[in-house]
């Protein structure tokens, strides 16, 4: 089901049961496992702060959102599904650093995870990348979306950089010259070539398995 939301965000809700997900990693992706953390990007810095209080849609048949205590709370309505919000066109992720702070509010288990969307088409979940963590098991994964598919780019991988419990984790993607550099809490995780992102794409948020996730400090640096 696809709904093009008004205001600040578009809504997409799609069945994403893992047993039906294509789990073959696309061989066109290039992973740089032995590289050092990329040097900081030398550019004039401008910061776009994203006001998540304007993303609240309340309780819908797709998901639940609210803004409380300076955090944007978001969850899908049912287990085995994920809920995605996409930003408006002003928040482009190409050649920019996109970051958000995430928190598993109730320390709940999730097989789908939660995290950050980048390089998204204006029609959500038709072309994008997602950087997702499972803080309870201290794992991350990277996927891309095409219509009706969630395709693994890197499957669940353990990382000591992830904080568990209800602690906050900062997810960050630094994009430059078609390369995406992934960070968790400031620690470099992986570099992946951008071969499938939407040109001029935007950012967004992802939450799965009806687990309530708190998002804050959402920004794009250029």
Whose CA is closest to 201, among 144, 84, 122?
A: 122
Ordered per-residue pLDDT tens for the chain, 222 residues: 333 333 344 444 443 333 333 333 332 333 333 344 555 545 558 999 999 999 998 898 889 999 999 999 999 999 999 999 999 999 999 999 999 999 999 999 999 999 999 999 988 899 999 999 999 999 999 999 999 899 999 999 999 999 999 999 999 999 999 999 999 999 999 999 999 999 999 999 999 999 999 999 999 999
Report the CATH fold assignment for 2-34+44-221: Jelly Rolls (2.60.120)
Q: Structural domain boundaries of the chain?
A: 2-34+44-221
Inter-residue contact 77 to 84 (CB < 8 Å): no
């Amino acid at each position: 089901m696809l709904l093009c939301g008004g205001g600040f965000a578009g809504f997409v809700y799609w069945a994403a049961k893992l047993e039906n997900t294509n789990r073959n990693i696309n061989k066109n992706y290039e992973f740089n496992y032995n590289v050092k953390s990329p040097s900081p990007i030398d550019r004039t810095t401008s910061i776009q702060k994203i006001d998540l209080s304007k993303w609240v849609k309340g309780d819908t048949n797709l998901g639940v959102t609210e803004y409380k205590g300076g955090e944007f709370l978001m969850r899908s309505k049912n287990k085995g599904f994920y809920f995605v919000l996409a930003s408006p066109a002003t928040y482009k992720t190409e050649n920019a650093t996109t970051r958000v702070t995430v928190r598993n509010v109730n320390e709940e288990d999730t097989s789908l995870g939660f995290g950050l969307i980048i390089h998204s088409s204006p029609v959500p979940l038709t072309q994008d990348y997602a950087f997702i963590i499972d803080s309870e098991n201290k794992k991350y994964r990277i996927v891309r979306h095409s219509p009706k598919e969630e395709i693994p780019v890197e499957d669940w991988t353990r990382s000591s950089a992830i904080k568990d419990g209800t602690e906050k984790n900062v997810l960050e993607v630094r994009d430059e010259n078609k390369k995406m550099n992934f960070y968790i809490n400031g620690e470099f995780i992986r570099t992946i070539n951008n071969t499938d992102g939407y040109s001029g794409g935007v950012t967004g948020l992802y939450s799965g398995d009806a687990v309530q996730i708190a998002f804050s400090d959402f920004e794009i640096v250029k």
